[in-house]
Structure 1
Amino acid sequence: MSSAFSGPAFRERMLAAAAQRNQSNVTPVPLPPTRKRTRDESSSVAGSDDDQYDTPLPPLLSSLAAGPASRNATVAVRNYAKKQKLRGDQLTQLDAFLSDIQTVREGKLFTLLLAMQNDVGNIITATPAFAVSPQLKTNIQSYSLSVLLSPKLAQYRGELPVQHVWNILKKHGSDLPPGIENILADMKTLTSEIQEQLTQARSSCKKNVRIIRVDDKKNKITIELEPSQHQNLFALAQCFVDGTKCRITNALCGRIALMRDVYLANSGTSFWTDLDNALVLMRQVAEGSEDARDAMFEDLIETDKKLHGTVDIIYQSTHDLQQEVDDLIDATSADAASTATRRDCSPPPEGDSDQLDADGGGGAEAVDTNS
């Protein structure tokens, strides 16, 4: 016989008691009163009602709908404007600006930005074309001579001397407009001026060497001077540095001796080409050895003294400007010796001053266009 506390009847009674206790602990939640939605007959949007206007505006719309600046803010801004020394009409415009709502103020600011953009465009359009100023031309002349008289120069013709002069101008910013390297037309004008000044400098150097001969223009012949009548190397070097900041150094005398040696062999149209080829040959023989290169230039100096007059040359220290040019050339053309190649000699165009020099008709006005 089963106990009264273990039979089905007890189980049912316990379940019923538990269910009744759970129901007594539940707090009824009152339902919100129903309200009929009133439709706005004047609204064109179906289903719109008055409740939608109770929803707060998003932050962006709230900022756009902001009203004029407060009185304190207006006074503070006006005082700041006076410190900036704005004109009276500008202060009036500022007051009107502060009294506008934020949307209008932002619209005015954007309009002013567009107007400023138009003004800048007009200024750029009205800028005159670049022209080489007298000061810039003077600097180019000075740097061109310094480059041609540098013992570090790998070749006298071609793009390399032009690049060296441009690098010096760019380093010092010598009367150059900002960003000129990004304007193709302006760079073309500047490059043409550099080429012209290098041509004039080469012509001057060649005239200094060619005075070892006397041109008989009347009979159209060239008379060779006796060796005793030649300028010695020191006197010739003085002609090269006259009017420049260069000084007579051992390295410069070596270059001048090489020029005279090449000129005696070929004073005609291919003089500068032969001179560049001689430098290439000397670098090939030296194989990168500075001692070997210096020995070759020293031999040229001694040979020049034997042919054109023995003289004790008083060497000077390098001028600061020339030293700067030498260092810059040495840095920018470190691999020029290994990449330079021998160029073929081509006949110059008609009227080339090298030909005029060879014929004795160049004179002081001759311009070397063999560049």
Structure 2
Amino acid sequence: MSSFSNDAFLQRMKAVAQNRPTITPVPARKRTRHERDGTSSAVASDDERDDPTMGSTPLAGLNLNRSGPATQNAANAVRAFAKKQKLRGEQLTQVDTFLNDTPTVREGKLFALVLGLQNDVANIIVAAPAFSVSPELQTNIKSYALAVMLSPKLAQYRGDLPVQHVMNILKKHRFDMPPGIENNPADMQKITAAVQYAFTQDRSSLKKKLFSSVRVTRLDAAGTRVVLDLPPGQHQNLFGLAQAFVEGTKCRITNALCGRIALMRYVYLQNSTSSFWVSLDEALAAMRTAAEGNDEACDAMFEDLIHMDKTLHGAVDIVYQATNNIQQEVDDLIVAGRGREKRADVGSSDPTDDTTSTPEGNGTEGGEDDESNEH
């Protein structure tokens, strides 16, 4: 028998083999008990219910997780919850209607409610009164401004630096400050103005206490007010002056605070004019330069100032107190803020001016010292 050797046929078969369709064999369906027994039944067997390939209804395309109106148990639970929220009668009816709605209607109602809430919020924002510094916020500003002025960590007494220290404290504790006020420059300026005014008042108050420690005001025969230097024996000693400084505050008399007060009185006797605070900042800067960044050297300078003050204004034994939590917090924030704030004058273009304008609504004077006769 000769072999088949038709080249055209072989090539055709190869082409068919290479392009043949994939045929998936259909698995044999399991016969039911009724089919095996030769009987029929309208009730499907367990195998038929479990096997998706059995039965005449295909499952493809069915949404087995289809959602619809709430079941009775779910509706009862929601109604009970709604009653606990003390909804009104018509609102409870709306809840029942919502539960029986289709998913599409529910989503549409929820979206409409969101839009309605947006309108309500917009109306509330428009109707809100203009921000003003509350009495509670004003009290905290005054308290922390004086604590900053009495801190031995303060690098300068004028300019933006002390103001920024208080602003950092306010932002940390949020004393009666509305959320997001940092994004409203106009409202933040009102708080900044209140802080600046508090420092103006504090500088005026402390300077008057320095004046009273070494000088007195008298009226002469013509009724003119004159300033007289007290004799050294009548000067207020350092401990008494420190008590006057911390009166009405939560600050305590520490060695570091007495060193600062001694420096203030020393500078005051050299320059008691309106540029006193400028001279004080310059003295502090000169001490830091002389210490070359050495804290121990700087502490030794303040100890020398304390000794000098006791010699000039009365020897006294001072019982120093430990720093309390408020002072420690202020000192820590000042140290943390060093190097981040810019040095600049606040309020006035004249660096020797010791006054600023009164914030709107305070109704008091700017707190300047009347020391025209002290020279």
- Relative to the length of structure 1, the TM-score reads 0.73
Quote how far apart the aligned CAs of 1:153 are: 0.3
> Are 1:283 and 2:285 counterparts?
no
Cα distance in 1, alignment partners of residues 179 and 334 from structure 2: 23
CA distance 1:12–1:355, change in 2 (3 Å)? closer
SS of aligned partner of 2:227: strand
Residue 257 of structure 2: aligned partner? 252
User: 1:176 maps to which residue?
Assistant: 177
Partner of 1:356: 370
- Contact 1:273 1:345 (8 Å CA) reproduced: no
Deviates more, 1:146-155 or 1:246-255: 246-255
User: Higher mean Cα deviation, 232-241 or 124-133?
Assistant: 124-133
1:354/1:261 CA distance change after superposition, 3 Å: farther
3-state SS of paired residue (1:357)? coil
State the match for 1:243 in structure 2: 248
Give the deviation of 1:101 after TM superposition: 3.8
Give the direction of change, closer, same or farther, for the CA distance of 1:358–1:254 in structure 2 (3 Å limit). Answer: farther
Q: Counterparts of 1:75 and 1:310 in 2: how far apart (Å)?
A: 84
Contact 1:140 1:194 in 2 (8 A): yes
Once residues 206 and 323 of structure 1 are traced to their aligned partners in structure 2, the CA distance between those partners, rounded to angstroms, is 24
Distance 1:174 1:349 in 2: 28
| Residue segments in structure 2 that go unaligned for 5+ positions in a row | 13-60, 357-365
Counting aligned pairs with the same residue, the percent is 58
Residue aligning to 2:218: 216
Q: Mean Cα displacement is larger for which, 284-293 or 162-171?
A: 162-171
Q: Which residue of 2 aligns with 1:124?
A: 125
Per-residue Cα deviation, 1:14-56 (whole angstroms, up to 9, x for no partner): x99xx9xxxxxxxxxxxxxxxxxxxxxxxxxxxxxxxxxxxxx
Assess, with a 3 A threshold, how the Cα gap between structure 1 residues 75 and 134 changes in structure 2: closer, same or farther: closer
TM-aligned CA deviation for residue 269 of structure 1? 1.5
The answer for unaligned runs of 5 or more in structure 1 is: 20-57, 362-371
Q: 1:11 to 1:324 in 2, by over 3 A?
A: closer
Aligned mates of 2:260, 2:166 — CA distance in 1: 19
Question: Is 1:333 aligned to 2:338, yes or no?
Answer: yes
Structure with more helix by fraction: 1
Instruction: Report the AA paired with residue 191 of structure 2.
Output: L
**What is the one-letter code of the residue matched to 1:144?**
A
What is the CA-CA distance between 1:334 and the residue it aligns to?
5.6
Counterpart in the other structure of 1:191 = 192
Shift in Å, 1:181:
1.9
Tell me by how many angstroms 1:164 deviates.
1.1
Letter in 2 for 1:112: L
Report how far residue 285 of structure 1 moved.
Answer: 0.8
- Secondary structure at the counterpart of residue 248 of structure 2: coil
Contact 1:136 / 1:176 at 8 angstroms: preserved in 2?
yes
CA distance, structure 1, for counterparts of residue 257 and residue 98 of structure 2 = 72
What TM-score does the superposition give when structure 2 sets the normalisation length? Answer: 0.72
SS of the residue corresponding to residue 359 of structure 1 reads coil
Paired position in structure 2 for 1:39: none
| SS of equivalent to 2:371 | helix
The number of equivalent residue pairs is 309
One-letter amino acid of the counterpart of residue 217, structure 2? D
Counterpart in 1 of 2:145? 144
